Amino acid sequence: MISRRELPYRFQYTSNCVVDEVATFILYEAGPRLATDTLRRIRSSPSLRVLHVTEEIESQADIVFERFASSRVSYTDCTTKVLADREGIETAFTFDRDLAVLGLARTP
């Protein structure tokens, strides 16, 4: 879907926290070359917007985290939920079921 450019929207969004998780995961699992290449691609993508978790977002995410802590939802997912709400984003492209727990629709 994404690779075929069959998206009903112009931009895709992520956060600096998710970029951190992705780069670190790839570094540990596939090595520095692929990790730095992936980071370079993220930064240069004309269709990807990286939203930043500010102190204000963190304070709101703290509340979400406290509410969903018993569901074992990650703090990064809580920041994603706050950013999505602020930006009017209702659907996440993810395999992470925790975002559904937080009320976001998931695709695929």
User: What does the pLDDT look like over 50-69, one tens digit per residue?
Assistant: 999 999 999 999 999 999 99
How many angstroms separate the CA atoms of 7 and 30, rounded? 28
**Could you tell me where the DSSP H helices lie in the chain?**
16-30, 32-44, 55-68, 75-87, 98-101
**Quick one: residue 45, left, alpha or beta (phi over 0 = left, psi -120 to 50 = alpha)?**
beta
The angle, 0 to 180 degrees and rounded to 10, between the axes of the packed helices 32-44 and 16-30 is 150
Q: Report all structural domains of the chain as residue ranges with CATH numbers, in order of start.
A: 12-107 (3.40.50.1010)
| 82 pLDDT more than 90 | yes
Mind listing the pLDDT tens digit for each residue in 7-56?
Answer: 566 689 999 999 999 999 999 999 999 999 999 999 999 989 999 999 99
